[in-house]
Amino acid sequence: MKKKIFIYILIFIVISFSILIVIFSSKIASGKNENNIKISVMYTNKDYIANYGIYDLKKNDFKKVYSRKNECFSDFSIDQKHNILYYSNLIEKKYNIYKVDLTNKKDNTERVAFNNCSGDMFDLYDNTLIFRTLQNVNNKNYTLGVFDIVNQDIRTFKNDADLQIYKFYYNKVNNKIYTIERSISEMASTKSPNIPSNKVAEYDKSGENKKQIYSANKFIDNISVNNNADKLLFDATDIVNKKTIHSIYLIDLKNKCEKVILKPGDKFENTKFNIIKSPQFSPDEKGFYFLGSTLNSNIIDQSNKGNTVTSNALYYYEFSTSKISKIFEVDDAIINIFKVN
């Protein structure tokens, strides 16, 4: 009798453990693992109201922290430790970075003192802003700058006069800055359907010890590099059979193996993706987050010329299973930017 009871207890334990494994695996596959990941999000509706907030994956909850009118490109970052929102804005033909104290209910927006530097794209770490700025206004010679918020110190990276830093990505774990770089003269002289060379370079936080880690004749738009700096994710436009196609690529930087992970037309549930962009490695590097629109996405606005603007959503792609999960969406808006905290 005791032996039978022991067997029943053992079976119960095995079944319970199996259920826990299934639940745990499900959470990982949906991008909601045991880590309390929070994602900062900016989305804009058809009335050009930009909304900023933080999505908590564990709680499946979005908390909006600020809204404002915005009709131009704008970057942002939320300092959760000090409860401050930073955003860029184009005023009188110049980009500047502004900050808002979210603990104060009154409008307390103030410009970050950048002297003669502009700042359209930027990222935040500790008490430092890394930003993109013009080195030469006349020829789009973009470089990077670093601003110490506490000490109010600012310095810019000195780069070749023919160099344009298109975008950049800061890895908060290995403290490296990764840039998408193009030659201004090559862009001017390259004729379609040819594509000028797009390079990905690595810098340290001070802008020194630069090294090129990748190069391709594709229009690379957004990049993400893993913590060991041996894998590169990016979305890019290429020309295949005289047609442009925008795909998400995974590059093994050790063996130079290149793989298309996602492309327009790939299936999701009962529909297909028509737009995919902005991949970012998840903190555990078991997958990545990205923005996508499908054939079933809601129409937000439609002009008289027939141009249609549709909503999008934040998705998670798991490497081991190729499973895609929808994480967050706003039915009547476009998610412009997200940042995994």
pLDDT digits (tens, 9 = 90+) for 301-310: 887 666 889 9
Q: Quote the pTM value.
A: 0.88
With 60 as the cut, is the pLDDT of residue 327 above it? yes
Rounded Cα distance between 165 and 161, Å, is: 11
Mean pLDDT taken over the chain: 89
Of the pLDDT bands very low, low, confident and very high (cuts 50, 70, 90), residue 31 is low
Environment class of 52 (CB within 10 Å of its CB; exposed 0-12, middle 13-18, buried 19+) = buried
Query: What is the residue type of 287?
Result: G
Q: What are phi and psi of 186, to 5 degrees?
A: -65, -40
CA distances from 143 to 121, 155, 224, 301 (A): 11, 11, 19, 35
**pLDDT tens digits, one per residue of 228-265:** 999 999 999 999 888 999 999 999 999 989 999 999 99
Task: Note every long-range contact of 214-217, with CB atoms under 8 Å and residues 24 or more positions apart, other chains counting.
Answer: 214/251, 214/253
With 70 as the cut, is the pLDDT of residue 220 above it? yes
With 90 as the cut, is the pLDDT of residue 56 above it? yes
With 70 as the cut, is the pLDDT of residue 316 above it? yes
Query: What is the residue type of 65?
Result: V
End-to-end C-alpha distance for the chain, whole angstroms? 55
Lookup: tokens for 75: 């970057």
Helices then strands, each counted (H, E), the chain: 2, 27
Rounded Cα distance between 137 and 119, Å, is: 13
* Residue 107: per-residue pLDDT: 79
**pLDDT tens digits, one per residue of 101-152:** 999 878 789 999 777 788 999 999 989 999 999 987 677 889 999 999 999 9
